[in-house]
Structure 1
Amino acid sequence: MHHTAPVPIAALLAGYRPRTAAESADVRRVLDLVAAGDPWSRELPLHVTASALVVHPPTRRVLLRWHVRMRSWLQIGGHGDPGERDPLDVVLREGAEETSLDDLVCWPDGAIRQVVVLPVPASATEPAHEHADLRFVLATGQPERARPEQPAAALRWLSLPEARALTAEPNLRELFTRVEELLDQHG
């Protein structure tokens, strides 16, 4: 099946430059997924998700969310809803849902900042699978208004050193490094 309209994922990845061989391989897997049909379909053993690190540029703090299933502090994000095709729509919706922040904007622009294929363990409702996570940066001007979506999904504003100390995930630590570079350039 051929689409005449540009696929947002392919357009976003067109100018993206992976930083490592592993990330290059992950980008190739995402592009293959896009070429094969609906990359958002949760029926596929590998499907696209979109996430973002929420930042408050004036204080250089980042917002992490406790992820009960993964038992770790992570960035916000998730699956596309039926009909959603644009990763930026997904990440802005997820950001608003998960933080109650209604002023989130792409920062400093809407470029993809990282691409990571992650294993997801099996749960009671789904088999083990993989997420091809497209990562962005969102900013808020009102960090004090952040509220968790549910009590178990706590939110914490942290300095980048505090955030690094809370996570052992190499891919998330790499995202912190990339965000720190952006804050240095645009802060």
Structure 2
Amino acid sequence: MIHTDAVRTLTAWTTEDAGQELLRRDYLAHLAAHQDGLWRSCRPAHITASALVVDPAAGRVLLTLHPKVGLWLQMGGHCEPGDETLAAAALREATEESGIAELRLVALDTEPAPVLLDRHQVRCAGKDQPENTHLDVQYLALAPAGAQEQISDESDDLRWFGFDSLPELTDASLRRLVELARKRVG
């Protein structure tokens, strides 16, 4: 069950960053309080999963221009009933949104592990609904050299950007994620 996996994943994940540790504890408290804490219907907050697609051989990342947010972001979104793990949800979202079938998540030891947590406000229920809080668990997904992206209906645009040439329409969280990716795989 994905709820059990999320608790296990976040309990095992360690960080030396005090802000990230506080988020990790908040995510675990959310899951303890909400058995439905990974589903879009859980309000005012729910866990989401994302993955930054990285082509280490070319020193680049694949970003999607999100239609609702208007920013270039990593691939990601809501967990679905068929997702058995957070990592599986992140990989499914990255594959669907990138069109690249051969992605694989970066592992720590033998299992895919998150690299960053990010809490942000978004209107995922519609413009006429109140904002929700996404408690995003972020992974890195490796693309094979020369991978060809295929834009999905969930994106206004999809492009590769060099580690040092990110577009202006990004936020601090994405830039931090790209920097961590560069250190880990670049």
Q: State the TM bucket, normalised to the shorter chain.
A: 0.7 to 0.9
- Offset, 1:10: 1.9
- Offset, 1:143: 4.2
The match for 1:154 among 142, 154, 157 is: 157
Higher mean C-alpha deviation, range 13-22 or range 133-142: 13-22
What does residue range 19-168 of structure 1 map to in structure 2 within 5 Å? Answer: 19-36=16-33, 37-43=35-41, 44-109=43-108, 110-121=112-123, 123-124=126-127, 126-150=129-153, 152-163=155-166, 165-168=167-170
Which digits, 9 at most, give the CA deviation of each residue in 1:113-136, with x for residues without a partner? 001111114733532110000000
Relative to 1, partners in 2 of residues 1:118 and 1:19: Cα closer, same or farther, differing over 3 Å? Answer: farther
Which digits, 9 at most, give the CA deviation of each residue in 1:80-111, with x for residues without a partner? 11253411111111112111111010125511
- Offset, 1:19: 4.4
Identity %: 27
Maintained 8 Å contact 1:167/1:173: no
The match for 2:7 is: 10
Maintained 8 Å contact 2:48/2:136: yes
SS in structure 2 opposite 1:158? Answer: strand
Maintained 8 Å contact 1:61/1:159: yes
Maintained 8 Å contact 1:103/1:142: no
Relative to 1, partners in 2 of residues 1:104 and 1:144: Cα closer, same or farther, differing over 3 Å? Answer: closer
- Offset, 1:41: 2.2
Give me the whole-angstrom Cα distance separating, in 1, the residues matched to 2:146 and 2:168. Answer: 20
Q: Normalising to structure 1: TM-score of the pair?
A: 0.86
Maintained 8 Å contact 1:56/1:62: yes
Task: List alignment gaps of at least 5 residues for structure 2.
Answer: none
Give me the whole-angstrom Cα distance separating, in 1, the residues matched to 2:128 and 2:141. Answer: 31
Stretches of 4+ moved more than 4 A in 1? Answer: none
Higher mean C-alpha deviation, range 120-129 or range 172-181: 120-129
One-letter amino acid of the counterpart of residue 39, structure 2 = S
Q: Normalising to structure 2: TM-score of the pair?
A: 0.86
SS in structure 1 opposite 2:165? Answer: helix
Across the aligned residues of Structure 1 and Structure 2, the Cα RMSD in angstroms comes to 2.3
- Offset, 1:14: 2.4
Relative to 1, partners in 2 of residues 1:31 and 1:150: Cα closer, same or farther, differing over 3 Å? Answer: same
Which digits, 9 at most, give the CA deviation of each residue in 1:7-32, with x for residues without a partner? 11122222322343332222111101
- Offset, 1:151: 8.3
Which digits, 9 at most, give the CA deviation of each residue in 1:131-174, with x for residues without a partner? 000000001115442110038531111111112x4344111111
Q: Quick check: which one's helix share is greater? A: 1
Maintained 8 Å contact 2:71/2:170: no
